Amino acid sequence: MNANRLSARLAALLVVGLMAGACENEEPFPSFDELDELKLLHSMPQRPPADPTNRFADNTQAAALGNRLFHDPKLSSCGTVSCKSCHDGDGRTVATALADGCNGNVTGRNPPTILNADYNRWFMSDGRADRLWNQAILPMTSPVEMDSNATIIRAQLNAEYHSSYAEVFTKTPDETGDDELLANVGKLMQAYERTVNRRRSPFDEDVKRFISVAEVSVVEATKDPAYLGLKTYFRKGQCIVCHKGVAMTDHLFHNIGVKDGSAGAEGQTAAVEAMLDWKFNAAGPFSDAPNGTDAQRLASVRATLVEKRAEMVGAYKTPTLRNIALTAPYMHTGEVATLADVVEFYDKGGDENGSFTGTRTETIKKLELEPAEKEALVKLLELMTGEP
Protein backbone atom coordinates (compact mmCIF):
# COMPACT_ATOMS: atom_id res chain seq x y z
CA MET A 1 0.00 0.00 0.00
CA ASN A 2 2.70 2.47 1.06
CA ALA A 3 4.97 1.32 -1.76
CA ASN A 4 2.14 1.84 -4.22
CA ARG A 5 1.42 5.24 -2.83
CA LEU A 6 5.07 6.12 -3.15
CA SER A 7 5.53 4.91 -6.70
CA ALA A 8 2.34 6.67 -7.85
CA ARG A 9 3.74 9.77 -6.21
CA LEU A 10 7.14 9.42 -7.86
CA ALA A 11 5.56 8.98 -11.27
CA ALA A 12 3.43 12.03 -10.67
CA LEU A 13 6.38 14.05 -9.48
CA LEU A 14 8.18 13.19 -12.66
CA VAL A 15 5.24 14.32 -14.82
CA VAL A 16 4.80 17.52 -12.86
CA GLY A 17 8.55 18.07 -13.03
CA LEU A 18 8.46 17.78 -16.81
CA MET A 19 5.42 20.04 -17.10
CA ALA A 20 6.48 22.56 -14.55
CA GLY A 21 8.83 24.78 -16.51
CA ALA A 22 8.82 28.10 -14.68
CA CYS A 23 8.04 27.01 -11.12
CA GLU A 24 10.58 24.20 -11.19
CA ASN A 25 11.47 23.95 -7.51
CA GLU A 26 8.04 23.77 -5.99
CA GLU A 27 7.00 20.45 -4.54
CA PRO A 28 3.60 19.38 -5.88
CA PHE A 29 0.68 20.14 -3.59
CA PRO A 30 -0.17 18.29 -1.44
CA SER A 31 2.99 16.76 0.02
CA PHE A 32 2.55 13.70 2.24
CA ASP A 33 2.56 15.89 5.32
CA GLU A 34 0.02 18.22 3.80
CA LEU A 35 -2.12 15.24 2.84
CA ASP A 36 -2.11 14.17 6.48
CA GLU A 37 -3.15 17.67 7.59
CA LEU A 38 -5.90 17.71 4.95
CA LYS A 39 -7.31 14.49 6.40
CA LEU A 40 -7.68 16.17 9.79
CA LEU A 41 -9.63 19.10 8.34
CA HIS A 42 -12.89 17.47 7.30
CA SER A 43 -15.83 15.68 8.92
CA MET A 44 -16.48 17.02 12.40
CA PRO A 45 -17.54 14.30 14.82
CA GLN A 46 -21.31 14.29 15.45
CA ARG A 47 -20.85 15.23 19.08
CA PRO A 48 -18.61 17.86 20.64
CA PRO A 49 -15.88 16.33 22.84
CA ALA A 50 -17.19 15.12 26.20
CA ASP A 51 -17.06 17.54 29.12
CA PRO A 52 -16.70 15.64 32.39
CA THR A 53 -16.78 18.90 34.35
CA ASN A 54 -20.51 19.22 33.62
CA ARG A 55 -22.41 16.04 34.37
CA PHE A 56 -25.47 17.49 32.60
CA ALA A 57 -23.61 18.38 29.40
CA ASP A 58 -25.42 15.74 27.33
CA ASN A 59 -28.63 15.54 29.35
CA THR A 60 -31.62 16.28 27.08
CA GLN A 61 -33.77 17.67 29.89
CA ALA A 62 -30.98 20.06 30.81
CA ALA A 63 -30.64 21.07 27.14
CA ALA A 64 -34.37 21.78 26.85
CA LEU A 65 -34.32 23.95 29.97
CA GLY A 66 -31.09 25.62 28.80
CA ASN A 67 -32.80 26.45 25.51
CA ARG A 68 -35.59 28.31 27.34
CA LEU A 69 -33.16 30.13 29.61
CA PHE A 70 -30.93 31.14 26.69
CA HIS A 71 -33.90 32.99 25.20
CA ASP A 72 -35.19 34.55 28.43
CA PRO A 73 -34.51 38.29 28.89
CA LYS A 74 -35.89 38.16 32.43
CA LEU A 75 -32.63 36.65 33.59
CA SER A 76 -31.12 40.11 33.07
CA SER A 77 -31.43 43.01 35.53
CA CYS A 78 -32.92 45.27 32.87
CA GLY A 79 -35.38 42.60 31.71
CA THR A 80 -34.59 43.10 28.03
CA VAL A 81 -31.32 41.29 27.32
CA SER A 82 -30.99 37.52 26.86
CA CYS A 83 -28.15 35.41 25.49
CA LYS A 84 -30.05 35.42 22.21
CA SER A 85 -29.81 39.23 22.02
CA CYS A 86 -26.16 38.87 21.02
CA HIS A 87 -26.13 35.34 19.59
CA ASP A 88 -28.99 35.32 17.11
CA GLY A 89 -29.75 34.68 13.45
CA ASP A 90 -28.11 32.14 11.14
CA GLY A 91 -24.62 32.95 12.44
CA ARG A 92 -25.67 33.07 16.10
CA THR A 93 -24.01 36.44 16.57
CA VAL A 94 -24.82 40.06 15.64
CA ALA A 95 -24.14 41.86 12.35
CA THR A 96 -22.43 44.83 14.04
CA ALA A 97 -18.91 45.08 15.45
CA LEU A 98 -20.16 45.40 19.05
CA ALA A 99 -23.48 44.51 20.71
CA ASP A 100 -25.93 46.26 23.07
CA GLY A 101 -26.34 45.08 26.64
CA CYS A 102 -28.37 46.36 29.60
CA ASN A 103 -28.74 50.07 30.44
CA GLY A 104 -27.43 51.42 27.13
CA ASN A 105 -24.08 49.66 27.53
CA VAL A 106 -22.10 48.29 24.62
CA THR A 107 -19.81 45.24 24.67
CA GLY A 108 -16.05 45.77 24.44
CA ARG A 109 -15.67 43.07 21.77
CA ASN A 110 -17.37 41.46 18.81
CA PRO A 111 -19.63 38.58 19.85
CA PRO A 112 -18.38 35.31 18.30
CA THR A 113 -20.78 32.64 17.12
CA ILE A 114 -22.06 30.00 19.52
CA LEU A 115 -22.30 27.50 16.63
CA ASN A 116 -20.02 24.50 17.30
CA ALA A 117 -18.90 26.35 20.44
CA ASP A 118 -18.09 23.24 22.46
CA TYR A 119 -15.55 22.07 19.90
CA ASN A 120 -13.38 24.84 21.37
CA ARG A 121 -10.96 24.19 24.20
CA TRP A 122 -10.90 27.75 25.55
CA PHE A 123 -13.63 30.37 25.56
CA MET A 124 -13.73 34.08 24.94
CA SER A 125 -11.21 35.66 22.62
CA ASP A 126 -8.74 36.08 25.49
CA GLY A 127 -9.41 32.62 26.99
CA ARG A 128 -10.81 33.84 30.28
CA ALA A 129 -13.13 30.83 30.56
CA ASP A 130 -11.92 27.22 30.39
CA ARG A 131 -15.27 25.52 29.95
CA LEU A 132 -18.50 26.39 28.22
CA TRP A 133 -20.58 26.25 31.42
CA ASN A 134 -18.42 28.73 33.31
CA GLN A 135 -18.24 30.95 30.21
CA ALA A 136 -22.00 31.56 30.56
CA ILE A 137 -21.54 33.06 34.04
CA LEU A 138 -19.53 35.92 32.52
CA PRO A 139 -22.26 37.50 30.32
CA MET A 140 -24.91 36.89 33.00
CA THR A 141 -22.97 38.85 35.60
CA SER A 142 -21.25 41.39 33.33
CA PRO A 143 -22.53 44.92 34.00
CA VAL A 144 -22.40 45.72 30.27
CA GLU A 145 -24.22 42.57 29.17
CA MET A 146 -27.01 41.06 31.32
CA ASP A 147 -25.96 42.86 34.51
CA SER A 148 -27.51 40.08 36.60
CA ASN A 149 -26.84 38.15 39.78
CA ALA A 150 -27.98 35.01 41.62
CA THR A 151 -30.88 36.81 43.33
CA ILE A 152 -32.43 37.99 40.06
CA ILE A 153 -31.86 34.64 38.39
CA ARG A 154 -33.22 32.64 41.34
CA ALA A 155 -36.39 34.73 41.35
CA GLN A 156 -36.95 34.05 37.65
CA LEU A 157 -36.20 30.32 38.09
CA ASN A 158 -38.75 30.18 40.90
CA ALA A 159 -41.31 32.05 38.84
CA GLU A 160 -41.12 30.08 35.61
CA TYR A 161 -38.83 27.07 35.80
CA HIS A 162 -39.22 25.76 39.31
CA SER A 163 -40.18 22.16 38.56
CA SER A 164 -37.88 21.74 35.53
CA TYR A 165 -34.94 23.01 37.57
CA ALA A 166 -35.77 20.70 40.47
CA GLU A 167 -36.07 17.72 38.11
CA VAL A 168 -32.58 18.22 36.72
CA PHE A 169 -30.76 19.16 39.93
CA THR A 170 -32.95 17.28 42.48
CA LYS A 171 -33.19 20.43 44.57
CA THR A 172 -35.03 23.72 44.22
CA PRO A 173 -33.50 27.09 43.35
CA ASP A 174 -34.04 28.16 46.98
CA GLU A 175 -32.04 25.17 48.14
CA THR A 176 -29.13 26.17 45.88
CA GLY A 177 -26.45 28.63 47.06
CA ASP A 178 -25.68 31.73 44.97
CA ASP A 179 -22.48 30.54 43.29
CA GLU A 180 -23.81 27.06 42.73
CA LEU A 181 -26.92 28.55 41.16
CA LEU A 182 -24.86 30.51 38.64
CA ALA A 183 -22.80 27.40 37.85
CA ASN A 184 -25.95 25.30 37.44
CA VAL A 185 -27.54 27.78 35.04
CA GLY A 186 -24.24 27.80 33.13
CA LYS A 187 -24.40 24.01 32.92
CA LEU A 188 -27.90 24.22 31.46
CA MET A 189 -26.73 26.79 28.91
CA GLN A 190 -23.88 24.51 27.89
CA ALA A 191 -26.22 21.52 27.50
CA TYR A 192 -28.30 23.63 25.11
CA GLU A 193 -25.32 25.12 23.24
CA ARG A 194 -23.92 21.65 22.62
CA THR A 195 -27.00 21.02 20.47
CA VAL A 196 -26.49 24.17 18.36
CA ASN A 197 -24.11 23.16 15.61
CA ARG A 198 -23.58 23.46 11.88
CA ARG A 199 -21.12 20.75 10.99
CA ARG A 200 -21.43 19.34 7.49
CA SER A 201 -20.37 21.85 4.86
CA PRO A 202 -19.52 21.82 1.14
CA PHE A 203 -15.93 22.43 2.26
CA ASP A 204 -15.86 18.97 3.84
CA GLU A 205 -17.03 17.38 0.58
CA ASP A 206 -14.43 19.34 -1.38
CA VAL A 207 -11.60 18.33 0.93
CA LYS A 208 -12.63 14.66 0.85
CA ARG A 209 -12.82 14.66 -2.94
CA PHE A 210 -9.54 16.53 -3.25
CA ILE A 211 -7.80 14.02 -0.99
CA SER A 212 -9.06 11.06 -2.99
CA VAL A 213 -7.91 12.63 -6.26
CA ALA A 214 -4.54 13.70 -4.83
CA GLU A 215 -3.86 10.25 -3.38
CA VAL A 216 -3.99 8.87 -6.90
CA SER A 217 -2.36 11.71 -8.78
CA VAL A 218 -1.04 15.11 -7.79
CA VAL A 219 -1.30 16.08 -11.46
CA GLU A 220 -5.03 15.41 -11.53
CA ALA A 221 -5.28 17.28 -8.22
CA THR A 222 -4.13 20.50 -9.91
CA LYS A 223 -7.33 20.41 -11.99
CA ASP A 224 -9.62 20.07 -8.99
CA PRO A 225 -11.80 23.16 -8.32
CA ALA A 226 -10.55 23.24 -4.72
CA TYR A 227 -6.87 23.11 -5.70
CA LEU A 228 -5.88 26.77 -5.70
CA GLY A 229 -7.86 27.63 -2.56
CA LEU A 230 -6.44 24.73 -0.57
CA LYS A 231 -2.93 25.24 -1.85
CA THR A 232 -3.02 28.92 -0.89
CA TYR A 233 -4.50 28.02 2.50
CA PHE A 234 -1.57 25.67 3.11
CA ARG A 235 1.33 27.37 1.37
CA LYS A 236 1.46 31.08 0.60
CA GLY A 237 -1.34 31.94 3.04
CA GLN A 238 -0.02 29.82 5.94
CA CYS A 239 -3.58 29.67 7.27
CA ILE A 240 -3.14 25.99 8.17
CA VAL A 241 -0.46 26.88 10.72
CA CYS A 242 -3.21 28.09 13.06
CA HIS A 243 -6.56 27.18 11.50
CA LYS A 244 -6.13 23.39 11.54
CA GLY A 245 -8.13 20.29 12.45
CA VAL A 246 -11.89 19.77 12.17
CA ALA A 247 -12.66 22.90 14.18
CA MET A 248 -10.10 24.83 12.12
CA THR A 249 -8.27 26.10 15.14
CA ASP A 250 -5.10 25.06 16.97
CA HIS A 251 -6.87 26.00 20.25
CA LEU A 252 -4.01 28.42 20.94
CA PHE A 253 -3.59 32.18 21.20
CA HIS A 254 -1.60 34.38 18.85
CA ASN A 255 -0.88 38.03 18.32
CA ILE A 256 -1.73 38.55 14.66
CA GLY A 257 -1.63 42.35 14.86
CA VAL A 258 -5.28 43.45 14.93
CA LYS A 259 -5.63 47.18 15.56
CA ASP A 260 -7.04 47.69 19.06
CA GLY A 261 -6.84 50.80 21.22
CA SER A 262 -9.39 49.57 23.78
CA ALA A 263 -8.92 48.65 27.43
CA GLY A 264 -8.98 44.96 26.44
CA ALA A 265 -6.08 45.24 24.01
CA GLU A 266 -3.75 43.24 26.27
CA GLY A 267 -5.56 40.08 25.19
CA GLN A 268 -4.66 36.79 26.86
CA THR A 269 -2.10 38.25 29.23
CA ALA A 270 -4.77 40.26 31.05
CA ALA A 271 -7.11 37.27 31.36
CA VAL A 272 -5.00 34.24 32.12
CA GLU A 273 -4.34 34.68 35.84
CA ALA A 274 -7.92 35.62 36.61
CA MET A 275 -8.98 32.44 34.82
CA LEU A 276 -6.47 30.29 36.72
CA ASP A 277 -7.57 31.71 40.07
CA TRP A 278 -11.30 31.78 39.26
CA LYS A 279 -13.55 29.90 41.66
CA PHE A 280 -15.72 28.83 38.71
CA ASN A 281 -12.93 27.24 36.67
CA ALA A 282 -12.95 23.54 35.80
CA ALA A 283 -10.67 22.68 38.73
CA GLY A 284 -12.82 24.57 41.21
CA PRO A 285 -15.57 23.53 43.65
CA PHE A 286 -18.37 23.91 41.08
CA SER A 287 -16.78 21.56 38.57
CA ASP A 288 -18.13 18.01 38.37
CA ALA A 289 -14.59 16.70 37.81
CA PRO A 290 -12.32 19.09 39.72
CA ASN A 291 -9.42 16.63 39.83
CA GLY A 292 -9.59 15.41 36.26
CA THR A 293 -7.56 16.30 33.18
CA ASP A 294 -8.87 19.88 33.27
CA ALA A 295 -6.99 20.49 36.50
CA GLN A 296 -3.80 19.22 34.86
CA ARG A 297 -4.42 21.45 31.87
CA LEU A 298 -4.74 24.50 34.11
CA ALA A 299 -1.67 23.49 36.09
CA SER A 300 0.37 23.24 32.92
CA VAL A 301 -0.76 26.71 31.82
CA ARG A 302 0.29 28.02 35.21
CA ALA A 303 3.64 26.27 34.98
CA THR A 304 4.47 28.04 31.71
CA LEU A 305 3.13 31.48 32.67
CA VAL A 306 6.50 33.14 33.12
CA GLU A 307 8.05 31.66 30.03
CA LYS A 308 5.00 32.37 27.82
CA ARG A 309 4.15 35.81 29.16
CA ALA A 310 5.59 37.80 26.28
CA GLU A 311 3.69 35.77 23.68
CA MET A 312 0.42 36.30 25.55
CA VAL A 313 0.50 40.08 25.20
CA GLY A 314 -2.06 41.09 22.59
CA ALA A 315 -2.73 37.43 21.79
CA TYR A 316 -6.23 36.19 20.99
CA LYS A 317 -7.70 32.76 20.51
CA THR A 318 -7.57 31.31 17.00
CA PRO A 319 -11.27 31.22 16.17
CA THR A 320 -12.95 28.48 14.16
CA LEU A 321 -13.45 29.25 10.48
CA ARG A 322 -16.52 27.07 10.19
CA ASN A 323 -19.63 29.09 9.31
CA ILE A 324 -17.42 32.11 8.85
CA ALA A 325 -19.55 33.50 5.99
CA LEU A 326 -22.42 33.82 8.50
CA THR A 327 -20.56 35.76 11.18
CA ALA A 328 -19.30 39.07 9.75
CA PRO A 329 -17.80 41.38 10.89
CA TYR A 330 -14.52 39.75 11.93
CA MET A 331 -11.76 39.73 14.56
CA HIS A 332 -12.25 40.36 18.29
CA THR A 333 -12.81 44.02 17.51
CA GLY A 334 -15.19 43.43 14.61
CA GLU A 335 -13.08 45.89 12.64
CA VAL A 336 -12.82 43.76 9.49
CA ALA A 337 -16.04 43.90 7.46
CA THR A 338 -15.90 41.12 4.88
CA LEU A 339 -14.02 37.92 4.09
CA ALA A 340 -12.30 39.69 1.20
CA ASP A 341 -11.13 42.27 3.76
CA VAL A 342 -9.84 39.47 6.02
CA VAL A 343 -7.75 38.14 3.15
CA GLU A 344 -6.43 41.67 2.50
CA PHE A 345 -5.61 41.94 6.20
CA TYR A 346 -3.43 38.83 6.03
CA ASP A 347 -2.00 39.79 2.65
CA LYS A 348 -0.61 43.02 4.06
CA GLY A 349 0.72 41.18 7.13
CA GLY A 350 -1.80 42.56 9.64
CA ASP A 351 -2.41 46.10 10.86
CA GLU A 352 0.34 48.65 11.28
CA ASN A 353 2.88 48.28 14.07
CA GLY A 354 1.90 50.55 16.91
CA SER A 355 -1.85 50.11 16.34
CA PHE A 356 -1.98 47.00 18.55
CA THR A 357 -0.36 45.87 21.80
CA GLY A 358 2.55 43.44 21.96
CA THR A 359 4.55 41.77 19.23
CA ARG A 360 3.07 40.23 16.15
CA THR A 361 3.82 36.53 15.71
CA GLU A 362 6.34 35.71 12.94
CA THR A 363 3.92 33.77 10.74
CA ILE A 364 1.93 36.91 10.01
CA LYS A 365 3.82 38.82 7.33
CA LYS A 366 3.23 40.19 3.85
CA LEU A 367 1.95 37.36 1.66
CA GLU A 368 1.93 38.92 -1.81
CA LEU A 369 -1.00 36.86 -2.97
CA GLU A 370 -2.12 37.02 -6.59
CA PRO A 371 -5.70 38.19 -7.21
CA ALA A 372 -6.71 34.63 -8.19
CA GLU A 373 -5.27 33.27 -4.92
CA LYS A 374 -7.19 35.84 -2.88
CA GLU A 375 -10.37 34.98 -4.70
CA ALA A 376 -9.81 31.26 -4.19
CA LEU A 377 -9.26 31.78 -0.45
CA VAL A 378 -12.47 33.77 -0.09
CA LYS A 379 -14.34 31.08 -1.98
CA LEU A 380 -12.86 28.41 0.26
CA LEU A 381 -13.97 30.31 3.36
CA GLU A 382 -17.47 30.72 1.93
CA LEU A 383 -17.77 26.97 1.45
CA MET A 384 -17.23 26.38 5.18
CA THR A 385 -20.88 27.14 5.97
CA GLY A 386 -22.45 24.08 7.56
CA GLU A 387 -25.99 22.74 7.38
CA PRO A 388 -28.22 23.78 10.26
Complex with ligand HEC: residue 204 or 373, whichever CB lies closer: 373
Contacts of 161 (CB under 8 A, 6+ apart): 65, 68, 69
Rounded CA-CA distance 284/291 in Å is: 9
- Total Cβ atoms within 10 A of residue 173: 21
Interaction residues for ligand HEC, span 10-69 (CB under 6 A): none
Interaction residues for ligand HEC, span 167-206 (CB under 6 A): 189
Rounded CA-CA distance 299/116 in Å is: 26
Contacts of 213 (CB under 8 A, 6+ apart): 220, 221, 224
Q: Are 27 and 182 in contact (CB under 8 A)?
A: no
Rounded CA-CA distance 45/99 in Å is: 31
62, 86, 150, 213: which one binds ligand HEC (CB under 6 A): 86
Residue 313 binds ligand HEC, judged by CB under 6 A? no
Q: Quick one: DSSP state of residue 25?
A: T
Q: Are 201 and 380 in contact (CB under 8 A)?
A: no
Contacts of 143 (CB under 8 A, 6+ apart): 102, 105
Residue 357 binds ligand HEC, judged by CB under 6 A? no
Complex with ligand HEC: residue 16 or 258, whichever CB lies closer: 258
Complex with ligand HEC: residue 85 or 385, whichever CB lies closer: 85
Complex with ligand HEC: residue 214 or 240, whichever CB lies closer: 240
12, 35, 364, 383: which one binds ligand HEC (CB under 6 A): 364
Interaction residues for ligand HEC, span 121-160 (CB under 6 A): 123-126, 132, 135-136, 139-140, 145-146
Residue 234 binds ligand HEC, judged by CB under 6 A? no
Complex with ligand HEC: residue 54 or 85, whichever CB lies closer: 85
Sign of torsion over alpha carbons 219, 221, 222, 224 = positive
Residue 120 binds ligand HEC, judged by CB under 6 A? yes
Sign of torsion over alpha carbons 56, 58, 64, 68 = positive
Instruction: Give the number of residues in contact with ligand HEC, rule: CB under 6 A.
Output: 51
**Whose CA is closest to 343, among 243, 197, 247, 265?**
243
Residue 324 binds ligand HEC, judged by CB under 6 A? yes
> Which residues pair with residue 317 across a beta bridge?
253
Q: How far is the CB of 125 from ligand HEC (least distance, A)?
A: 3
Residue 87 binds ligand HEC, judged by CB under 6 A? yes
Interaction residues for ligand HEC, span 235-274 (CB under 6 A): 237-239, 241-243, 254, 256, 258
Residue 111 binds ligand HEC, judged by CB under 6 A? yes
Applying CB under 6 A, the residues found at the interface with ligand HEC are: 70, 81, 83, 85-87, 99, 101, 107, 109, 111-112, 114, 117, 120, 123-126, 132, 135-136, 139-140, 145-146, 189, 237-239, 241-243, 254, 256, 258, 316, 318-319, 321, 324, 327, 330-332, 342, 346, 361, 363-364, 377
